[in-house]
Structure 1
Amino acid sequence: MRAVPLSAVRNLGILAHVDAGKTTLTERILYVTGTTYKRGEVHDGTTVTDFDSQERDRGITIFAAAVSCSWDGHRVNLIDTPGHVDFADEVERSLRVLDGAIAVFDGVAGVEPQSESVWRQADRHGVPRIAFVNKLDRAGADLDAAVESIRNRLHPRTLVVQLPIGAEDGFVGVVDLLRMRALVWADGAETAVAGPIPESLVDEANRRRRLLEEAVAELHPAALEEFCESSTVSAETLRSALRELTRTGDGLVVLCGSAYRNRGVEPLLEAVVAYLPSPSDVPPVRGEYEGTEQERPADPSAPFSALVFKVTATATGRLTYLRVYSGTIRTSEAVVDVDTGRTERVGRILRVQADRHTRVDSAVAGDIAAVVGLKSARAGTTLCTPSAPLLLEPPVAADPVVSVAVEARTGTDAERLMSALTRLVEEDPSLVIRTDRETGQTLLSGMGELHLEVAVEKIRRDHGLDVGVGRPRVAYRETVARGVSGFVYRHVKQDGGAGQFAHVVVDTEPLEEGEFEFRSTVVGGRVPQEYVRAVEAGCRDALAEGPLGGHPVTGVRVTLTDGVTHSKDSSDMAFRTAGRFALREALRAGAMTLLEPVVEVTVTVPESAIGVVLGDLAARRGRVLGSTMRAGTTVVSATVPLAELFGYATRLRSRTQGRGTFTARPTGYAPAPEVRAVG
């Protein structure tokens, strides 16, 4: 599949807040590298990566799309990720298989809420990044202000390697502070013209080069040594130091440009190949099998191992997207799904270009590819050669926070609807299907209102089903406000056969940090260790439904303090049952608090509408955190219960004559306004 050495491969993602220009940047990269012959535009619905009909209708990225291109002898595999918070799980699964990323920031807005969220996701996965400040051609764009917001909100050591030439409509190029040259893009030009730095910027360029040298010398020993010896740092030393600082995460290289006007894309690609790591630069992947931890190097001759990060159903079959970490996989070879132990045969291997595919004979370590023929693999599945299994850590799916009831309009479509829902969940693990025990309704749960809208619309378009949808409902939680001590539960069952006996004494108390903690203070062997584990398992069973309304329970510590066993009738099952009912009754005996999901919203509105917007937020039980002025608009940050945000987008547009926008990101749970207690 690959005609370049492993050291010349770059697997990276494009990360940003919605509307920061990720997809436009991806399009320009494909165009500049000669992968496409025409520049696609988001507003025209002609982009390569936003190929789904809903993405083109809505003008946003919904599904992560992989593309590949070549630059300066390197193979660059790109994943364009969504920027909307409802699709953060797509970003999570993509980051799990990437070696690096480009973080895109709006030159006017700087760091926005979802910029911060995806940055934290990349931190968790240890993904090296470079930053690209986009849209410098817009009114109000300011590179220094954007960099300051990056520094203050994300806290990296920023290393700015470019200086803009011109501002807003007059932005025409950049000064390369490493080579101390100007790169200028004339109107309509597809490549930059290199030349001397304009006289008006020479002093500023020299000043910023000096600041860059000092900043790098503070962070890198070789640069510091050269700086102390000669009071300067050469371009080659700077480049080498920036590469190491990027890969260790100790520094963030910052570039700038305007993707829409095709300015700054080539220097960005040069930075990608110069600073971001190849698969051979990252540590060997680590996994576990039968309690033994192992490493697999990114070597085509090593045993095959890969992680599935995406599954899609197409008209031509089921596509399984995977990152190959070690070894080589060829067409018709057998692979084992380590999670299930099932062995399957690979039908075809495809190089992916968004919704277009090229058939290849093999995929090797470092490749991102799609395979046809696997029926059981899901996102997070580990695939290995049958003779050398290894279980890799899967990406963690977030818990859904919003649910809607879905039903087929006709009885004949009920079975087709369930089949469509099952396929949806296969493709998107952040969606969950369950049946309401009280109403018998089928509930579809997801990460937000837009997430569920997209899922339902996908059912309608792809499967031709007329689906009825109920009003969205949020996922409440219950927590302990006041625990109980010495709660006794005795489980005795005798029905003619083997009996069941378990006697437990438990304490419950609130747990400030964490969801659940179990411990035992039983002494003298009054409850054997295997029964203690059974009690813990029973307590975990009881967390599924709390006493207030059957919502999951969180934030509770349970302590097993005493117990009694029977020589014949005690068993794991008896103590598990006792643990379940003991915790259930103990929660009823104490006091419980209902929790509701809360989100942080960032509302951008004209100054004239700020009063109306603040009043509306207050009516929705919002708590304003602060506000800032930005280019004639006011940006308000507030925390609002998720249940109060249904329909807010329409209300905000109507109250601001269509000029107001907002974004939201989950921040956790908070007590609901009417605190109900039991006991």
Structure 2
Amino acid sequence: MPLLNLGILAHVDAGKTSLTERLLHTAGVIDEIGSVDAGSTTTDTLALERQRGITIKSAVVSFPLDRVTVNLIDTPGHPDFIAEVERVLGVLDGAVLVVSAVEGVQAQTRVLMRTLRRLRIPALVFVNKIDRRGARGTAVLRQMAERLAVPLVPMGTAAGLGTRAARFLPGLGPAALEALADQDDVLLADLLDGAVPEARLRGALAARTRDGSVHPVYFGSAITGAGVPELVDGIQRLLPTAAGDPDGPLSGTVFKVERGPAGERVAYARLFSGTLRVRDRVPFGDGGKDPGRGANGGRETTTDREARPAGARATEGRVTALAVFDHGTDTRADSAGAGRIVKVRGLDGIRIGDALGTPGRSYEHHFAPPTLETVVVPGAGTDRRLLHLALTQLAEQDPLIGVRHDGPRGEISVSLYGEVQKEVVQATLADEYGLAVTFRETTTLCVERPVGTGHAVEFEKKDANPFLATVGLRVDPAPPGTGVAFRLEVELGSMPYAFFKAVEDTVRETLGQGLHGWQVVDCTVTMTHCGYSPRQSHAHQGFDKSMSSTGYDFRGLTPLVLTEALRRAGTLVHEPAHRFRLVAPADTLGALLPVLARLGAVPEATGTHGTTCVLEGTVPAARVHALEQRLPGLTRGEGELETVFDHYAPVTRGTVPERPRTDHNPLNRKEYLLNVMRRAGERAGRPSADPQATCS
């Protein structure tokens, strides 16, 4: 039977998990529908999820329908856990976006729909909670059209809103025909010529839904089951099933990693091609092939280098156990083919985003990175080494939780999305690791961007360079959002590949702390000069590392060269800015605007609808909390504020924020060399009369 990998997405409390329970019950997988409030749902398996009534980790559950077998992935709705949603998007064939008929379109609803559209993931919309008091039908549909700004095709109407008898009345009305015709010129021409058969309409609806052009809208209730049979029919008829050749080369993507009972890593992966079997030796990594090897297995060429993602890593492991999802649970299997979601054991070191076999879909960040940071404070008697290990393991399961160890101050910081996530980390450390911690006040995470081009080079055995290495680097700014790229202007064969790899890895590590201590983003670093001393030995003796370059030399020299290039380029600190939407009584606008100005907010659009005004614009992330606190008093308690990360904006007012350094401080050459040499021993006194090779 065909497979469909389906994601359930929503703003928190819209009813995602309840809808998952109803779908499982409708398919006959469970006999009794679980309750989020009672902590008895199928997909919320963590104790914290049951206690708090929210989804924290994505969960996979499978059920058969008449025409297709669905692997359903329930995702978190709270914005603090958006990273879980991000990882799921790359493995979906289709999605159901759940909207509350009471609350309507919320901040996360808009973020999710924009992402679905950008990735062209076919999606249905289910307007849930039509049985709740305050439920709206036409008004929510109108709000979705206005605030989501996407083509919607109403699949019917809701009747009996706000009562237990609320129901869905299916039928394609004039609004549906108009929305379809706007996206299908052939259908529009047919409609102008006269009536179009229903089969033709439904065919056009399926085609336009599968290519992401339109989004069918259903109304219903996950609690009463109203509208769910029609949604199930839409899932089967309108969404595309999984494609892929089971006889092709193995290609998959890891979207989740958890720890098994013995501490082993268990990877969740979507297979796009090929067949995975127990006892197979499987290459995995973020580059998909052995670094340093070309496409034909020989020495990597410059072309190969450009094609391979910068910083890629690859390794191999043997699959010791395999599980697939079927009838509500995961079951052991000897093999699994293209289209399947699998649980894989035995691949030590595997990480979220890794490719299995041949790289397929690339893993990309679809949402903003964390913009907050906090210092973890160990409780009395808490082992700091165990704490660091526990946080590292949590970061394996959620790569966007960055763990930062400040050796000089003996502190550990973690980057987060919000306060709820901080509470969850605290509870997880206590419940699963037995570690008591508290946190310092949350601070904002900034970034640095180069403002110009800077170049620096240090030659071996010249100008007090204590390292047996020549390194030249140029830093150029890149467009926002493009990340960091590493390039070569020297021949790859001019020195051992391991030295190039040492430079590249050290460049990426060094960019974690720019001139002001923040991570440097959106730049291209080009290696312009290189040089090394070949392996040397005294007569009848072995290799003498005091006469020959090693990776240590390149790892030691690169931070000095890169930091000098950054200094010459100059960097500008950028702070995270949120886009806000503020709804308030129109007569409070005069009091709101001066406060927004003092908080650094920039209103970009203002509209008035009767007695209500709507302001949209941007505000520094660090000021959002202050705005939330001031809003009730300014608006008589009637103001509604939505914010979501939008971009990084240059810090142009006040003192430039600085972040304490945790490295050897290459900004201070003397201090840096003392720290490095102290750790490495007496390497600075090596002989300097040995042959060298230099390239540029």
3-state SS, counterpart of residue 338 of structure 1: strand
Match of 1:309 among 247, 255, 258: 255
User: Aligned residue for 2:354?
Assistant: 381
Aligned in 2, Cα 1:348/1:624: closer, same or farther, shift over 3 Å?
same
**Separation (CA, whole Å) in 2 of partners of 1:346 and 1:510:** 43
**Separation (CA, whole Å) in 1 of partners of 2:325 and 2:472:** 61
How far off its partner does 1:345 sit? 2.7
User: Aligned residue for 1:552?
Assistant: 519
Determine whether 1:430 maps to 2:400. yes
How far off its partner does 1:105 sit? 1.9
Contact 1:503-1:578 within 8 A present in 2 as well: no
User: Aligned residue for 2:420?
Assistant: 450
Aligned in 2, Cα 1:163/1:513: closer, same or farther, shift over 3 Å?
closer
Determine whether 1:416 maps to 2:363. no
**Separation (CA, whole Å) in 2 of partners of 1:650 and 1:461:** 32
User: Aligned residue for 2:342?
Assistant: 369
Determine whether 1:466 maps to 2:433. no
* 1:370-425 Cα deviation digits (max 9, x unpaired): 24444333222333xxxxx4123442356432222224335662232233222212
3-state SS, counterpart of residue 252 of structure 2: strand
How far off its partner does 1:429 sit? 1.6
Contact 1:164-1:171 within 8 A present in 2 as well: no
* 1:529-587 Cα deviation digits (max 9, x unpaired): 9899979958766643322x221234567899x99999999x99999988864553354
**Separation (CA, whole Å) in 1 of partners of 2:629 and 2:622:** 15
**Separation (CA, whole Å) in 2 of partners of 1:349 and 1:93:** 20
Following superposition of structure 1 onto structure 2, how do residues 310-329 of structure 1 map, counting pairs within 5 Å? Answer: 310-315=256-261, 318=264, 319-329=266-276
3-state SS, counterpart of residue 309 of structure 1: strand
**Which amino acid is the alignment partner of residue 245 of structure 1?**
R
**Separation (CA, whole Å) in 1 of partners of 2:624 and 2:657:** 26
**Separation (CA, whole Å) in 1 of partners of 2:467 and 2:347:** 46
**Separation (CA, whole Å) in 2 of partners of 1:662 and 1:325:** 41
Percent identity between matched residues is: 32
User: Aligned residue for 1:674?
Assistant: 654
Following superposition of structure 1 onto structure 2, how do residues 572-587 of structure 1 map, counting pairs within 5 Å? Answer: 581=560, 584-585=563-564, 587=566
Determine whether 1:78 maps to 2:52. no
How far off its partner does 1:651 sit? 8.4
Contact 2:468-2:532 within 8 A present in 1 as well: no
How far off its partner does 1:516 sit? 5.9
Aligned in 2, Cα 1:655/1:470: closer, same or farther, shift over 3 Å?
farther
Aligned in 2, Cα 1:316/1:350: closer, same or farther, shift over 3 Å?
farther
**Separation (CA, whole Å) in 1 of partners of 2:453 and 2:336:** 58
Determine whether 1:396 maps to 2:364. yes
How far off its partner does 1:656 sit? 9.7
User: Aligned residue for 2:219?
Assistant: 256
How far off its partner does 1:341 sit? 2.6
Aligned in 2, Cα 1:84/1:659: closer, same or farther, shift over 3 Å?
farther
Contact 1:425-1:431 within 8 A present in 2 as well: yes
Determine whether 1:212 maps to 2:176. yes
**Separation (CA, whole Å) in 1 of partners of 2:182 and 2:583:** 38
Equivalences, count: 608
Match of 1:128 among 122, 130, 133: 122
* 1:324-374 Cα deviation digits (max 9, x unpaired): 3334445x43241422332223325253777x5444554333222324444
Determine whether 1:598 maps to 2:577. yes
Query: C-alpha root-mean-square deviation of aligned residues, in Å?
Result: 4.5
Following superposition of structure 1 onto structure 2, how do residues 273-292 of structure 1 map, counting pairs within 5 Å? Answer: 273-280=236-243, 284=244
TM-score (norm 2): 0.73
Contact 1:593-1:675 within 8 A present in 2 as well: no
Contact 2:6-2:92 within 8 A present in 1 as well: yes
Structure 2 unaligned spans of 5+: 286-313, 535-546, 659-666, 668-696
User: Aligned residue for 2:376?
Assistant: 406
Contact 1:160-1:212 within 8 A present in 2 as well: yes
How far off its partner does 1:62 sit? 1.6
* 1:486-529 Cα deviation digits (max 9, x unpaired): x776645358999656788x796796775568999x9xxxx879
3-state SS, counterpart of residue 435 of structure 1: strand
How far off its partner does 1:630 sit? 10
TM-score (norm 1): 0.75
User: Aligned residue for 2:670?
Assistant: none
**Which amino acid is the alignment partner of residue 564 of structure 2?**
E
- Per mean C-alpha deviation after superposition, the further-off stretch among 107-116 and 611-620 is 611-620
**Which amino acid is the alignment partner of residue 265 of structure 1?**
V
3-state SS, counterpart of residue 263 of structure 1: coil
How far off its partner does 1:480 sit? 4.4
Following superposition of structure 1 onto structure 2, how do residues 264-275 of structure 1 map, counting pairs within 5 Å? Answer: 264-275=227-238
3-state SS, counterpart of residue 57 of structure 2: coil
3-state SS, counterpart of residue 163 of structure 2: helix
**Separation (CA, whole Å) in 2 of partners of 1:503 and 1:369:** 45
Following superposition of structure 1 onto structure 2, how do residues 183-198 of structure 1 map, counting pairs within 5 Å? Answer: none
**Which amino acid is the alignment partner of residue 666 of structure 1?**
F
Aligned in 2, Cα 1:498/1:399: closer, same or farther, shift over 3 Å?
closer
Aligned in 2, Cα 1:496/1:22: closer, same or farther, shift over 3 Å?
closer
Contact 1:595-1:671 within 8 A present in 2 as well: yes
How far off its partner does 1:214 sit? 4.7
**Separation (CA, whole Å) in 1 of partners of 2:630 and 2:618:** 17
How far off its partner does 1:109 sit? 4.2
How far off its partner does 1:162 sit? 0.7
How far off its partner does 1:268 sit? 0.4
How far off its partner does 1:37 sit? 2.1
Determine whether 1:347 maps to 2:321. yes
**Separation (CA, whole Å) in 1 of partners of 2:466 and 2:164:** 88
**Separation (CA, whole Å) in 1 of partners of 2:475 and 2:338:** 52
Aligned in 2, Cα 1:347/1:493: closer, same or farther, shift over 3 Å?
same
How far off its partner does 1:10 sit? 2.0
Structure 1 unaligned spans of 5+: 179-207, 285-296, 384-388
Aligned in 2, Cα 1:316/1:646: closer, same or farther, shift over 3 Å?
farther
Aligned in 2, Cα 1:169/1:469: closer, same or farther, shift over 3 Å?
same
* 1:460-492 Cα deviation digits (max 9, x unpaired): 1111211232222322222345x478x776645
How far off its partner does 1:252 sit? 1.8
**Separation (CA, whole Å) in 2 of partners of 1:275 and 1:497:** 66
**Separation (CA, whole Å) in 1 of partners of 2:276 and 2:403:** 34
How far off its partner does 1:274 sit? 0.6
**Which amino acid is the alignment partner of residue 600 of structure 1?**
R
Determine whether 1:102 maps to 2:106. no
- Per mean C-alpha deviation after superposition, the further-off stretch among 666-675 and 495-504 is 495-504
Contact 1:381-1:394 within 8 A present in 2 as well: no
Match of 1:441 among 411, 417, 425: 411
How far off its partner does 1:51 sit? 2.8
How far off its partner does 1:245 sit? 0.8
**Separation (CA, whole Å) in 1 of partners of 2:122 and 2:388:** 41
Contact 2:7-2:92 within 8 A present in 1 as well: yes
How far off its partner does 1:242 sit? 1.0
Match of 2:21 among 27, 45, 52: 27
3-state SS, counterpart of residue 383 of structure 2: helix
How far off its partner does 1:164 sit? 2.1
Match of 2:56 among 47, 62, 68: 62
How far off its partner does 1:606 sit? 9.2
Contact 1:609-1:655 within 8 A present in 2 as well: yes
3-state SS, counterpart of residue 312 of structure 1: strand
**Which amino acid is the alignment partner of residue 512 of structure 2?**
A
